[in-house]
Amino acid sequence: MTLKDDLFLTLDFGGSSVKGAVMSRDAQIHERFSLPSQADSYEQWLDTFTPKFDELLERFALKGIAISTCGAVNVDTGVIEGASALPYIHDIDVRSLYQARFHLPVELENDGCCAALAEDWLGAGKEDDEFCLLVLGSGIGGAIVRDGRVIKGTHLHAGEFGYCILRFEEGQPITYSNAASTRALVKNVAMNKSQKVEDFDGVKVFSLYEQGDNDVLPLVEQWYGDLATILFNVQYSLDPKRILLGGAVSRSPRLIDNINRKLDELQASIPIARIRPVPALTQFGNDANLIGALKHFLNRQG
């Protein structure tokens, strides 16, 4: 295959798999692939990845490697701080591992930040100079974007909304992730129906909700209420122009309508709060992290 445009290898590390793509400078995807993400060490994962890299390099003139990853990424040192579902990725110079093995420029960034960069560059945030992104999945991640830049904070945790505490139940803190992630909702529905968590996903839960399932209705209503409260808190903490919602659950029917319904209830009970959160859906689905990783690479490497 002969392509005139510069091509880049992009990787998106998740808890169970690494999605990969060969992308051109304008974010067009020319090839996709997927590999398991679990490994005992980063070197072991690279051993698994190397045959795929060699095969791609035979067909594409790759100019660099752009990585989206869980964890608190220090983009200057190449070290992934914090904690995640992939223990082996942390507290080592990840960028140097790639550069030593593949001899290409490498940049990496947090997955929530990558998703936000994608939306700022080509998606739902491109007309805004300031917005927040919440990614609803196994937890609640996200990012804060101001004037085209992701705000990282002193400890690289700005936008990690999932750690915030929404309320206490029986003396225990309920974080945003505990209350309003897709994982939390699915788990609560499975428990309420006395079934296995594996029997449900977000799509099934919202389908049951739309059908009026009596076991599901109150749980989803609580979930919408919790999510609206979170958006309210984000609005009055950071005052963004809008709050984008990403993750697979963001494609659920009437998501924004139902959140707005709960926001109406909140504002009616707090008349002094006149600034209303503006929720909106992200434009990019599963490709957001790949696109944002590419944008981060281009921002740093040109």
Q: Which residue, chain included where needed, has tokens 């929530």?
A: 112
pLDDT at 1: 41
**pLDDT tens by residue, 201-224:** 998 999 999 999 999 999 999 999
Percent composition of the chain: helix, strand, coil (DSSP 3-state, to 5): 40, 25, 30
Q: Check residue 254 and give left, alpha or beta (phi > 0: left; psi -120 to 50: alpha).
A: left
**pLDDT tens by residue, 154-211:** 998 999 999 999 999 999 999 999 999 999 999 999 999 999 999 999 989 999 999 9
Please check whether residue 294 is in contact with residue 12, taking contact to mean a CB–CB distance below 8 angstroms: no
pLDDT at 4: 52
Instruction: Tell me the H-state helices in the chain.
Output: 42-59, 94-102, 111-122, 176-180, 182-192, 202-210, 217-238, 255-269, 288-301
**pLDDT tens by residue, 61-78:** 999 999 999 999 999 999
CATH 3.30.420.40 residue ranges for the chain: 7-115+286-301, 124-281
Q: Which residue, chain included where needed, has tokens 């209830």?
A: 265
**pLDDT tens by residue, 130-143:** 999 999 988 898 99
pTM, two decimal places = 0.89
The topology (CATH level 3) of 7-115+286-301 is: Nucleotidyltransferase; domain 5 (3.30.420)
CATH code: domain 124-281 is 3.30.420.40
pLDDT at 2: 41
Run of H or E including 17: strand 17-24
